[in-house]
Structure 1
């Protein structure tokens, strides 16, 4: 079988060589397995692509991709997946926290009949801020995309070929792989693995990047646009109950200010109708939005391969 390992790289000049070297050693233990690496430099500020050049020279199974602009982790992963044909695809980090020694656990779970397997951590080695961001992202994906509560997601995953074939056709700039994986198959699960310490430096995730990642979920759901539809329906329902109560009170000659009560009823019913029809309009807009997002995900400056002339774009 052929396995493609896609690694988005950002300011990882101190770790990426070791990641490829150790992963190669662990993958040799898997019989009848051909491995192809794709290292995607996401417009790093350090010499990451220089190190990738050296890796391509030293290893004959590595493709290096240099993005002209910072595209974000998920768009970088998609750019990498488009460069290679394989039976299975693995996404992992560039800092040794998603350790290659755990890859076999992902395969064992996948071969139970799943199409997508996430490696999730018993004890995550991350800052409280990063843990909070991951929890919020998981919560959002669960609520807005229908992810099962018991399933956890991470940046360490294994997918089958047909899942990759589906996600690489996605052409919007606002990419969230969790959303695409959930769209592609119902056989998605996670398995517990060990999480290792980061070898060099600190996490590249900032509040801004976490917010951008979270906001990308909006590209896979129109649940917020449907909110006025729900609220409008609730208000119309309340106004209906309100007028029934007013009629009963009038018949039983309750002493209340009916002018104010009727005014409140009119405000409820009119406001509810307005929100309801705004929700219907939002539904149409949302469906067009899901279809018509056309900004490019990434722009590749250069692709390098072992002992081959580099391809300029």
Structure 2
């Protein structure tokens, strides 16, 4: 019998934890020869999400949970789920039911046919605002043009991963994570299944344009050094233009007696060069900041509680032990 763990990152999802469990269980009860377990990850929620998960775990033997020590973000929360998940495969889902549980049987069918990564692909973005849709298209277009890693377009975290993929992802311990790129980087056989994103069953999303912008920067700086090379090319181009302009000014001064360019020209050139320098320093700073963060070798997340048991980290190199509180 195949054992599959459903990983559910949660942040302020108190209204939908039980609703999610009920909706998914109604679909899974018709799947034969599979044993399912739920692994909820409470990512430092400020509401009663952890309390609701505890109650759900107390009522159902197939529910486990992890409580992180604070809010680390969805990417580290998924990493915690992958670290603690057991079985032959995992399925990653959002707790807001925007990922339709009805797709799970088809995922399992393709997995049993030999695919290691069965992912859900959005059929369209008509439900999003024009600005968000355009920004997403530009991001994928830009990544495809500068990165050696071709991201799966309109494919997110809703997917089934074989234990081989899970083991590979566990090897990638960086703090600033871009999991969408990691899925592509590890390779293995992939199968995309089209689906339509459902409206949220409750509440409002915590994602905003700033969060999406930060995610895009993480993706660019994680999987390509093209911005650094573009900065080099920009510097070379500006140097060539400056040299050409200098020759032009000297030629006019020597041949026609024209005065050297005055104040407006000087200020314009200085502002332009200053902007180029600041842009270059900013790009270098993004990469340097990543090096600084990774050089600390801090864990991507800390677990406060695992199935009601307090976690103690007694060594940075050993697996954390647990003790009853």
User: Which band: TM-score by shorter chain?
Assistant: 0.7 to 0.9
Q: Residues 96-121 of structure 1, C-alpha deviation per residue, up to 9 Å, x if partnerless?
A: 11121111233344455543232123
**Would the aligned equivalents of 1:105 and 1:193 in 2 still touch at CA under 8 Å?**
no
Cα RMSD of the aligned pairs, angstroms, is 4.0
- The residue aligned with 2:58 is 57
- The residue aligned with 1:224 is 227
How many residue pairs match? The answer is 291
**Would the aligned equivalents of 1:141 and 1:217 in 2 still touch at CA under 8 Å?**
no
Q: Which of 141, 163, 166 is the aligned partner of 2:165? A: 163
CA distance in 1, matches of 2:190, 2:165: 11
Mark the runs of 5 or more structure 1 residues left unpaired by the alignment.
243-254, 261-270, 305-309
Cα 1:149/1:52, change in 2 over 3 Å: closer
Task: State the SS of the aligned residue for 2:228.
Answer: coil
Cα distance, 1:47 vs. partner?
Answer: 0.7
- The residue aligned with 2:309 is 311
CA distance in 1, matches of 2:64, 2:206: 23
**Would the aligned equivalents of 1:182 and 1:188 in 2 still touch at CA under 8 Å?**
no
TM score, norm. by length of structure 2: 0.72
Cα 1:72/1:138, change in 2 over 3 Å: farther
Cα 1:170/1:6, change in 2 over 3 Å: same
- The residue aligned with 2:184 is 182
Q: Residues 235-293 of structure 1, C-alpha deviation per residue, up to 9 Å, x if partnerless?
A: 78999999xxxxxxxxxxxx9x9xx9xxxxxxxxxx9xxx9xx99xx7x9799679746
| Larger RCO (alpha carbons 8 Å, 6+ apart) | 1
Cα distance, 1:168 vs. partner?
Answer: 2.1
Cα 1:205/1:289, change in 2 over 3 Å: same
CA distance in 2, matches of 1:295, 1:80: 18
Task: State the SS of the aligned residue for 1:164.
Answer: helix
Q: Which moves more between the two structures, 183-192 or 83-92?
A: 183-192
**Would the aligned equivalents of 2:304 and 2:310 in 1 still touch at CA under 8 Å?**
yes
Mark the runs of 5 or more structure 2 residues left unpaired by the alignment.
246-255, 262-272, 312-325
- The residue aligned with 2:269 is none
Task: State the SS of the aligned residue for 1:196.
Answer: coil
**Would the aligned equivalents of 1:120 and 1:152 in 2 still touch at CA under 8 Å?**
yes
- The residue aligned with 2:10 is 9
**Would the aligned equivalents of 1:120 and 1:154 in 2 still touch at CA under 8 Å?**
yes
TM score, norm. by length of structure 1: 0.74
Where does 1:1-313 land on structure 2 (aligned, <5 Å)? 1-111=2-112, 113-122=114-123, 126-128=127-129, 132-133=131-132, 136-137=135-136, 139-140=138-139, 143-144=142-143, 146=147, 148=150, 151-185=153-187, 187-221=189-223, 222-231=225-234, 292=295, 294-304=297-307, 310-313=308-311
